[in-house]
């Protein structure tokens, strides 16, 4: 029967796995990493707080998509908290931690990152269903959205707690990983592959959205004027999709690949030299999410600006933006049929009033 080491401190496991926690966290590297991490966390706290406050304050955002958007902001806010906790419990301090405190440190990170990832997947599916059904918003009721949000956090908390519940190497030192000295290598393989599969599903969903929009554009381009066709060119749609997918690929894939290599016990991959830089890169996804999903929305941006400026004027909330709304699919009331707008995040359908405004412009 294998001996278990629940009462050991982390220095025991770091020594067993030959993990260096001191040299790379001294001098200029330490200062750069901490300063960059602090700046990212401050931005995450401020920007995501504004997103949540905007959804609560503006009644125009009281729809399923924006509730999920606010939940994504909450997940990213939680990621900032998890990273702050990490900064105070890493480097040379790591070896002084108890097993339970180290589990808490990693569990917070795993929970926050999983919550963001699952929320992004739910948003992708919600957009897909809305666009395919040609609706402004999905048919999700508030109860269903609440259930989805609770489910997202339940999944995230469960994934963050799985190693603590038993999938670890405290009773089998030979199975310990290098990056996470008390995590089993098999768990790292499972966790990284699972997240990569979710990423692949998101890619498929957005590709199908783009292909559908492009097909509609090609079919209906002959029924619209040249200026409208050029203004709603599929190239703009592709740029938006590539912004979403590109940000996710850049921020997540390197870290997931490193975890997978560690789980496969790759001793010649040099993963110790890049692990914390890839962690910072993964954190950037929480920094970029408010920009990609919120600040491109004219109404969201104007709401946040009013909150920042502490303006008490509510009349401007009803004024229309001078720019083209960030919509995907619009329905025409004339014989020309449907046409495609140049955004993809919102996936809304223009009403008659919107169409009239565009026709007069």
Residue 338's pLDDT is 37
- Structure confidence at residue 45 as a pLDDT band (50, 70, 90): very high
The residue among 1 and 177 whose pLDDT is bigger is 177
Domains defined along the chain, listed by start: 23-222+233-309 (1.20.1070.10)
pLDDT level of residue 335 (50, 70, 90 thresholds):
very low
Please give the pLDDT value at position 138. Answer: 63
Q: Which range (43-47, 156-160, 277-281) has the least confidence?
A: 277-281
Contacts 24+ apart (CB under 8 A), 66-69: 67/142, 67/145, 67/149, 68/119, 68/122, 68/123, 68/126, 68/145, 68/148, 68/149, 69/123, 69/293, 69/294
Can you give the pLDDT at residue 81?
92
Range from 25-29, 76-80, 222-226, 275-279 carrying the lowest mean pLDDT: 222-226
Is pLDDT at 234 greater than 60 in this prediction? no
For the segment 185-193, the average pLDDT, to the nearest whole number, is 91
Q: What is the mean pLDDT of residues 255-273?
A: 82
pLDDT tens column, 266-320: 877 777 777 777 877 888 888 887 787 666 677 777 888 888 886 444 444 444 4
Q: Is the pLDDT of residue 249 over 50?
A: yes
Predicted confidence band of residue 162 (pLDDT cuts 50, 70, 90): very high
pLDDT of residue 243 exceeding 60: yes
Instruction: Please check whether residue 296 is in contact with residue 69, taking contact to mean a CB–CB distance below 8 angstroms.
Output: no
Stretch 79-101: mean pLDDT: 86
pLDDT of residue 153 exceeding 80, the answer is yes
Q: Please give the structure tokens belonging to residue 160.
A: 């963050």
More confident residue, 256 or 139: 256
The pLDDT of residue 148 is 92
* Residue 101 confidence class, pLDDT cut points 50, 70, 90: very high
Mean pLDDT of 65-76: 87
User: In angstroms, rounded to a whole number, what is the distance separating the alpha carbons of residues 246 and 286?
Assistant: 14
Share of the chain above pLDDT 70, in %: 71
> Could you tell me the sign of the dihedral formed by the alpha carbons of 84, 86, 91, 96, in that order?
positive
Tokens 């083209």 appear where? 324
305-329: buried (b, 16+ CB within 10 Å) or exposed (e) per residue?
Answer: ebeeeeeeeeeeeeeeeeeebbbbb
Average pLDDT, the chain: 74
What predicted TM-score, i.e. pTM, was given to this entire model? 0.76
Per-residue confidence at 233, pLDDT binned at 50, 70, 90? very low
Burial class (CB in 10 A: 0-12, 13-18, 19+), 22: exposed
Q: Does 155 have pLDDT greater than 50?
A: yes
User: What share of the chain in percent tops pLDDT 90?
Assistant: 13
Residue 22 has pLDDT above 60, yes or no: no
What is the mean predicted confidence (pLDDT) over 251-271? 83
């Amino acid at each position: 029967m294998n001996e278990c080491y629940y009462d050991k401190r982390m220095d025991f496991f770091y020594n067993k796995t030959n993990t260096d926690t001191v040299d790379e966290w001294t001098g200029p590297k330490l200062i750069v990493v901490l300063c960059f991490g602090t700046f990212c966390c401050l931005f995450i706290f401020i920007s995501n707080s504004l997103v949540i406050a905007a959804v609560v304050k503006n009644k125009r955002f009281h729809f399923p998509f924006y509730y999920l958007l606010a939940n994504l902001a909450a997940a990213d806010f939680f990621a900032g908290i998890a990273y702050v906790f990490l900064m105070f419990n890493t480097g040379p301090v790591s070896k002084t931690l108890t097993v339970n405190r180290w589990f808490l440190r990693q569990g917070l990170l795993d929970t926050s990152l999983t919550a963001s990832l699952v929320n992004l997947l739910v948003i992708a599916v919600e957009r897909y269903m809305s666009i395919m059904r040609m609706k402004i918003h999905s048919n999700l009721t508030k109860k269903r959205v609440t259930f989805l949000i609770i489910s997202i956090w339940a999944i995230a908390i469960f994934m963050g707690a799985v190693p603590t519940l038993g999938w670890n190497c405290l009773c089998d030192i030979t199975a310990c990983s290098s990056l996470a000295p008390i995590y089993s290598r098999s768990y790292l393989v499972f966790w990284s592959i699972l997240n990569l599969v979710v990423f692949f599903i998101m890619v498929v969903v957005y590709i199908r959205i783009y292909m559908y929009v492009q097909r509609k554009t090609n079919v209906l381009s002959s029924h619209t004027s040249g200026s409208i066709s050029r203004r709603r060119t599929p190239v703009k749609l592709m740029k938006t999709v590539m912004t979403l997918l590109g940000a996710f690929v850049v921020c997540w894939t390197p870290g997931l690949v490193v975890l997978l290599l560690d789980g496969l016990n790759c001793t010649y991959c040099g993963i110790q030299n890049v692990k914390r830089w890839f962690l910072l890169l993964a954190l950037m996804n929480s920094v970029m999410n408010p920009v990609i999903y919120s600040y491109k929305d004219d109404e969201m941006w104007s709401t946040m600006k009013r909150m920042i400026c502490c303006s008490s004027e509510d009349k401007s909330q009803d004024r229309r933006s001078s720019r083209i709304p960030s919509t995907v699919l619009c329905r025409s009331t004339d014989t020309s049929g449907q046409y495609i707008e140049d955004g993809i995040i919102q996936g809304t359908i223009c009403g008659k009033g919107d169409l009239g405004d565009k026709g007069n412009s």
